[in-house]
Amino acid sequence: MKVFQTVHDIQKCLLEINDKHGKTFGFVPTMGALHQGHLSLIQSSKEKTDITVASIFVNPTQFNDQKDFEKYPIQIDKDLEMLLDAGCDIVLVPSVEEVYPYGTVEKTGVNLGFLGKTLEAEHRKGHYEGVLQVVKRLLDIVQPDFLFLGQKDYQQCLVLSKLIEHYHLPIQLEICPTLREKDGLAMSSRNMRLTAEERTMALQLSASLFYIKEHINDFPIKTLIETELEKLNQYDLIKTEYLEIVNGKTLKKIKHFNPKIPTVALIAAKVGEIRLIDNVIIT
Ligand code: AMP
């Protein structure tokens, strides 16, 4: 596995491979503190493409909360070991200066419409502008054929599909299912910051989503959401930001369930100090 810290060096390597062998490239962008969820994306890329490229970069411009950025877990050596074991071919671990040589002011011109106003966008102001900015830059550097993203960040997948569309990038988006712990908690780098008590509480988030999926035909949408919010709000350690059942393409709230329309339930909540998100696809 080759590890690069500069754009110049990784591009030289990628160009050489491309010129000599005409291989297909899969790209898995991450912020590190890797877990099996990330590695499942590496696995999918290995199955679909010739060369798998990963990046580890904690992008400062996508954090709306400075404390969250400062406390984001960093474990580069362990991450590189995990990527090596997973069979990743090339890793980019750039500095902020490498990613943003001209500073961070310039954002992309992607118009997200409603996607840029609802759910995560509403609760994390500026977050997707930062995500678009960093992913556009990383895609320009790596120029992959396939981009592998996790369904765990459902809205992010829709946002980045808009990015690809906006710039007419010749990149195929592959969305991989959410990997969960045995008890149902969605794997996340932030889970390692939970105390034992918070870790137990965090289970309520996926439990609510699973309950909604199971009972989507049994109650009106409004009742389902109200009941689940009430359950979650019993716990002092949980502060829900949203729990919504929406159209899986537009993210507009749905009033009545229709199994013919893509539908997804999404949640964001703070458990103690740690903000977690999760979702389940209903249809
Ligand atoms: P992050 O390092 O959190 O920015 O995530 C990097 C990529 O891994 C994103 O495409 C995430 O959606 C994906 N990812 C994060 N957690 C999971 C998970 N539990 N299962 C599958 N993919 C995940």
Q: Where are the domains of the chain?
A: 2-176, 194-275
Q: Report d(CA 158, CA 161) in Å as an integer.
A: 5
CA of 283 to the centre of ligand 1 (A): 21
Residue 19 has what pLDDT?
Answer: 78
Q: Let me know: does 63 contact 39? Beta carbons within 8 Å.
A: no
Q: Is 256 annotated as catalytic?
A: no
CA of 247 to the centre of ligand 1 (A): 22
pTM over the 0.85 mark: yes
Among 8, 21, 35, 38, which one carries the catalytic annotation?
A: 38
Residue 142 has what pLDDT?
Answer: 98
What confidence tens digit (pLDDT) does each residue in 171-220 have? Answer: 999 999 999 999 999 999 999 999 999 999 999 999 999 999 999 999 99
Quote the distance between the C-alpha of residue 34 and its chain's center.
12
Mean pLDDT to the nearest integer, 147-175: 98
Quote the distance between the C-alpha of residue 37 and its chain's center.
10
Per the model's pLDDT, the better-predicted residue between 22 and 185 turns out to be 185
CA of 38 to the centre of ligand 1 (A): 5
- Ligand 1 pocket at CB < 6 A: 30-31, 37-38, 40-41, 149-150, 152-153, 176, 178-179, 186-189
Instruction: Please give the mean pLDDT across all residues of the chain.
Output: 97
Residue 275 has what pLDDT?
Answer: 98
pLDDT band at 104 (very low <50, low <70, confident <90, very high): very high
Q: Is 9 exposed, middle or buried (0-12, 13-18, 19+ CB in 10 A)?
A: middle
Alpha carbon distances (Å) from 52 to 20, 123, 150, 194, 218: 17, 33, 16, 31, 44
* % residues pLDDT > 70 (the chain): 100
Q: Which CATH superfamily is domain 194-275 in?
A: Pantoate-beta-alanine ligase, C-terminal domain (3.30.1300.10)
Residue 150 CA, closest ligand 1 atom number: 12
Residue 78 has what pLDDT?
Answer: 98
User: Has residue 240 got a pLDDT over 80?
Assistant: yes
User: Where do we find the tokens 């160009």?
Assistant: 15
Alpha carbon distances (Å) from 44 to 30, 124, 228, 279: 15, 29, 34, 21
- Options 3.40.50.620, 3.30.160.40, 3.30.1740.10, 3.40.470.10; CATH for 2-176 is 3.40.50.620
